[in-house]
Structures are given as C-alpha cells and as structure tokens.
Amino acid sequence: MEGHPLALHDVMFIPALVAQASDEQNKKWLRRAQRREIVGCYAQTELGHGSNLRKLETTATYDVSTQEFVLHTPQITSLKWWPGGLGKSSNYAVVVANMIVKEKHLGPHSFLVQLRDEITHQSLKGITVGDIGPKLSFNAIDNGFLGFDNYRIPRTNLLMRHSRVEPDGTYVKPPHAKINYSAMVRVRSHMATGQGNFLAQALTIAVRYSTVRRQGFIESGEQEVKVLDYQTQQHRLFPSIAKAYAFTFAGYETIRLYEQLLKEVDTGNVSLMADLHALTSGLKSVVTHQTAQGIEQARMACGGHGYSQASYISEIFGVAVGGCTYEGENMVMLLQLARYLVKSVEQIKAGESGKLGPLVAYLAVKVDGVDLEKGVEEYMKAFQHVSRLQTWKASEKFLKLLKSGEKREVAWNKSSVELTRASRLHTRLYIAETFKRSVQEVADPRLKEVLTDLLHLHVNYELLDMATYALEDGFLSSSQLDYVRDQLYFYLAKIRPNAVSLVDSWEFSDMQLRSVLGRRDGNVYENLVAWAKASPLNKTDVLPSVEKYLKPMMNSKL
C-alpha cells in the first residue's frame, strides 16, 4: 500500500516507451526494461512547474556537430521534482524537456536518459539526483529530484515514434501536438479502477467492522445492535460501495479506449485523442475526489478505532488522496474537460450538433421533465438535464464575457468555478451511464439483481446530491425529491443483507488489507489488544523518560 520503488517503472516508464519510442528504439530498450535489466521512471514535473507543461524549464538543445542533445536545468526551479522511483532506484528515466533545435523551441518532448552507472549504480557525471524526503504517504516510493549540467545524450535517445529530429536537425512534426502526453493519458485511463480499488479496501474494513461492533439499541432488546444496522451508518457506507463498483466499470471502459487509441494512433488516426483526454481528465478528477471522501467516511464510520493505525484506513487515504494531485491537479483537469464542453456548446450554437461526439450529443437535446417512477432511464435524463443546464450556463457566462471585450484567459478565469461544476456534472452522468450499461450486461440473474439494487441506490443518492441544480429551473418538484429520498432509504435497507457479501466479493486478503478492524475472521478485539501490546512504547514497563523528565518534574519543590 505504501507504494513500491519500481511502481513507476511499470506504470509509466514502460508505457512511455511502448507509446513513444520507435520500433527500432524499442528493440534496444523495451526488452531490457521488461526484464528489469534497467529500471526507469517518468521525470516531467519540476520544482517550479507541474501543471503548466509549456513552461517546463529543462532544455534539450540539439548540437548538430556531435548529433547529441544537451540536457540542462538552468536554475533551481528547473530541477525535476516528484518523479516516483527517481531518487534512488532508477538508473534510467524518460525525461520530458523542452526541445530546442536550430534555436527553435519545439515544446515538451520525451528522451530516454541514463542517470546512473549500470554496474555501480552511481550517478553519472553531469547528473544530480536524490530523494525529495518524506511525504503524506507513499513513503516506500523514492520520489526524487534531478538536475542536468549540460549533460549530453545521443540524438537517437529522443523518443521517435511520432516525431523525429534528423541528423542535420530537420524536425518531423507528430500527427497531433499533444501526442507526447500519452503516458499521462494512460495513467489517467487506469485511475478509475485503481481508485475504485482503494475505496473498496477502505469499505471492506469499515463494513466488516460494522458487523462486529455493537453499540446502542434500535429497539429495546437484550443485545445491542451491530452498528451497520443504523440507517446513518448505511448511508455513510453503502453509496460508496456503489461508487466503488461504478468507478471500476467506468475504468474498464477508459482502459479499453486507451488501448484502442494506441492502435489507431499507429495507423495515423488521432481522432480519439481529444475525446479521451477530455473524458479521462474529468473522470480522474471526480473519481479521486469522491474516493477520498468515501475513504474518510469509512474511517469515521469505525469510530475511535478508525483513528488508530490498526484500522489501516489512514494509510489507504494517504495513498488514494495523492490521486487528486498527481497526473494533473484536479481543478486543472476539470478545466481541460470544460474546454471540450464549451467547444461543444459553440458547435451547437453554430448549428453543427450533428458533429458532436456520442458523449456530448445530449447537450443539444432539451428534455422537459421526467417521470422518475418509470425507472433508471428517467434518472439518466435528469442527470443529462442538470449537466446540460450547468454546461450551457457556464459556457454562456464565458462567451458573454468574451463578447463584452474581456481577454479569453480573463473571461475563462472569471467563469472557471462554474465551468468546473459543469465538468463534474458531465462526468457524474458518464459514471452513472456506464454503471447502468455494465449492470445491464451482467448475465447471472442473482448477481444482476444485487448490482441493480446498487445502481438504484447510486442514482437516487446522486440525484439528491445534485438536487439544487434540478430545483433551480423547476425541472424537479419537491414531491419528486421526496420520492428520491424514499427510494434512497428503501435501497439502503434492501442492500443491508448483502453488504458483507458485496465487500467480500472484492476478495482482499487479510495480508492486503493489513487492518485489525477489517479481519476476515472478525476477531477484532483480541487482536486490537495484541496489536497495542506490540507497540514500541510497551517494550518496557518503565520508559527512560521517567528518570529523565518525569521524576525531576515530580520531585521538584517549585
């Protein structure tokens, strides 16, 4: 859970080679990387810049006389800072640097760079490298810093699958300006399943513990109730169970789309890039935010013992919440999706709705009302309505400011909170729709029934959560919202008997969960006592601090 020093080797270094190195280059490098003869990371972010890639300061200047690139970090803010596995483990890195050829700045490009000697592992001359120090979590990963002092690499170390620099310095452009960002798109495509998995771990612990923990009464009786029987506890946990499933289904789809993109790009078709960038930008933001919230609720649902490290939920939280920042800070990525949504609105206004992609086609179709009692399809229409309403509102605000003479960037900034709201609603619609489609495809009728209950819980919870938007223009009435509330409580109770099976079906072993509270056998109390006894403070009955500090204080006459 704390991460692994080689995680980025698998998650980004190898995928960056696969997507960006030419076949010829990969004959040299990929096999060695796959066999772990060389260990690599993905070094892009700098001390001074992470979000704004156009301002990266590390330069790779082509020297035509030697056919080499000269890598240089001219000032302190240019140091690479944060890359996982960079500090101590990696001897190679895919380094993203601003490429300069014949004095022309050609923007961020990726280079394979050797950092350490393959035998001694010592850092090479011209390279400064080290670990950035302890973090909130992920402390088994050596996130690092890296500086270059006019460090030379061969021309052929520029990853050349999509763009090239010929020996004489001729630059061959890629088929899409942002094709070098593919390693990030890949991780973002995988994040929904990864985050769903973190959420699932925290929920497994909290749900299991909630069937062991007895406290208080619902009706006066002999035995106190399992806390999972409280409606408030169910409300805290069950919607997140639904989300963990929903995120996983959405993630399967984005992973499949990324694989499709890779194949299409190789045939020169880059049409999917903008769609997948927009989709994964929104999805990573919503999923990481909701996962962090869900894990924190799971911790609180375990009461005092949730706060103990014995629960292990705090560690899961620390790791998962990193996802709100890495692979694009959430607000920044929501604004990337917003660009796509505003463009779609502009297309509709220009009478070109026919050109809209399938995920945004709904923006052009107005719905007057819904009959929620007819089922999930009507909920989807309601989600479409609130997303469309907010997308148009935010877009109109931006376009009006533009028309009034504001500069584009200023108008954008003044509309940005509204724009991020639109992006979230659009993404939540996508999550609900993929959840619905995935449940429809389940073949086993018993499994389908319980997943359908979760889907119903999800759509009612989500609609209630975004109710202000739907009430704003009278799309939903207060009596419809009462219906949604009743449905929500109905499904909380309906899911209760299956709650433990739903979390057990994720099949986390005790070793994976590392939680005293979430043990499969339910023997929580005796193991909490054993865990406490093993605390380093309990190694001796009397601590040295007694002689050193407590006694002088207690014996003082002052």
Ligand X SMILES: CCCCCCC/C=C/C(=O)SCCNC(=O)CCNC(=O)[C@H](O)C(C)(C)COP(=O)(O)OP(=O)(O)OC[C@H]1O[C@@H](n2cnc3c(N)ncnc32)[C@H](O)[C@@H]1OP(=O)(O)O
Residues acting as catalytic residues: 327
Name every residue whose Cβ is closer than 8 Å to that of residue 463 and which is 6 or more positions away in sequence.
372, 379, 382, 383, 470, 476, 484
DSSP H or E run through 397: helix 376-403
Q: Which does 273 bind (CB under 5 to 8 A by kind): ligand X, ligand FAD, none?
A: ligand X
For the chain, what is the largest distance between any 2 Cα atoms, rounded to a whole number of angstroms? 89
How far apart (Å, rounded) are the C-alpha atoms in residues 94 and 478? 55
List the x/- string, 227-266, binding to ligand FAD by CB under 6 A. ----------------------------------------
Q: Are 60 and 100 in contact (CB under 8 A)?
A: yes
For residue 214, list its beta bridge partners: 226
Residue 331 or residue 481: which is nearer to ligand X going by CB? 331
Which residues make up the interface to ligand X (CB under 6 A)? 7, 11, 42, 44-45, 50-54, 84, 178, 181, 184-185, 187, 273-274, 277, 326-328, 332, 336, 339
- Segment near ligand FAD (CB under 6 A); pick from 14-22, 42-50, 252-260, 547-555: 42-50
Coil, strand or helix: which one is 113? strand
Angle at 295 between CA 293 and CA 297, to 5 degrees: 70
State the alpha helices, DSSP H only, in 126-166: none
Q: Are 70 and 60 in contact (CB under 8 A)?
A: yes
Count the residues of the shown chain that bind ligand FAD, applying the rule CB under 6 A. 21
- Segment near ligand FAD (CB under 6 A); pick from 41-49, 386-394, 432-440, 508-516: 41-49
Shortest separation between residue 281's beta carbon and ligand X, angstroms? 7
Q: Label each residue of 425-439 as H, E or C.
A: HHHHHHHHHHHHHHH
Shortest separation between residue 151's beta carbon and ligand FAD, angstroms? 18
**Can you count the helices (H) and strands (E) in the chain?**
19, 11
Q: Which does 7 bind (CB under 5 to 8 A by kind): ligand FAD, ligand X, none?
A: ligand X
Pairing of strands 127-131, 92-101: unpaired
Residue 239 or residue 328: which is nearer to ligand FAD going by CB? 328
Interface with ligand FAD in residues 96-125 (CB under 6 A): none
Residue 279 or residue 334: which is nearer to ligand FAD going by CB? 334
Shortest separation between residue 349's beta carbon and ligand X, angstroms? 16
- Segment near ligand FAD (CB under 6 A); pick from 38-46, 266-274, 304-312, 541-549: 38-46
Binding ligand FAD (rule: CB under 6 A), the pick from 13, 42, 111, 469 is 42
Phi, psi of 25 (to 5 degrees): -65, -40
Shortest separation between residue 187's beta carbon and ligand X, angstroms? 6
Nearest to 62 by CA among 105, 100, 21, 109: 100
How far apart (Å, rounded) are the C-alpha atoms in residues 109 and 44? 10
Q: Which does 277 bind (CB under 5 to 8 A by kind): ligand X, ligand FAD, none?
A: ligand X
Residue 145 or residue 475: which is nearer to ligand FAD going by CB? 145
153: left (phi over 0), alpha (psi -120 to 50) or beta: beta
Instruction: Give the single-character DSSP code of 224.
Output: P
Shortest separation between residue 123's beta carbon and ligand X, angstroms? 22
Q: Which does 204 bind (CB under 5 to 8 A by kind): ligand FAD, ligand X, none?
A: none
Residue 54 or residue 446: which is nearer to ligand X going by CB? 54
Nearest to 112 by CA among 41, 194, 208: 41
Residue 331 or residue 380: which is nearer to ligand FAD going by CB? 331
Residue 49 or residue 519: which is nearer to ligand FAD going by CB? 49
Binding ligand FAD (rule: CB under 6 A), the pick from 206, 335, 338, 431 is 335
1 lies in the binding site for ligand FAD (CB under 6 A)? no
Coil, strand or helix: which one is 61? strand
Interface with ligand FAD in residues 302-331 (CB under 6 A): 322, 325-326, 328-329, 331
For residue 116, list its beta bridge partners: 123
| 144 annotated among ligand-binding-site residues | no
How far apart (Å, rounded) are the C-alpha atoms in residues 310 and 326? 27
Question: Cβ-closest residue to ligand FAD?
Answer: 50
| 84 annotated among ligand-binding-site residues | yes
List the x/- string, 68-87, binding to ligand FAD by CB under 6 A. --------------xxx---
The distance of Cα 257 from the centroid of its chain, to the nearest Å, equals: 17
Q: Which does 331 bind (CB under 5 to 8 A by kind): ligand FAD, ligand X, none?
A: ligand FAD
293: left (phi over 0), alpha (psi -120 to 50) or beta: alpha
Distances (CA, A) of 223 to 213, 216, 233, 436: 12, 9, 18, 40
Q: Are 388 and 470 in contact (CB under 8 A)?
A: no
Shortest separation between residue 277's beta carbon and ligand FAD, angstroms? 15
Coil, strand or helix: which one is 129? strand
Residue 21 or residue 370: which is nearer to ligand X going by CB? 21
Nearest to 90 by CA among 131, 40, 17: 40
Q: Which does 243 bind (CB under 5 to 8 A by kind): ligand FAD, ligand X, none?
A: none
Shortest separation between residue 161's beta carbon and ligand X, angstroms? 15
> Which residues sit at the interface with ligand FAD, rule CB under 6 A?
8, 42-45, 49-51, 82-84, 138, 143, 322, 325-326, 328-329, 331-332, 335
Q: Which residues are annotated as a binding site for FAD?
A: 45, 84
Q: Which residues are annotated as a binding site?
A: 45, 84
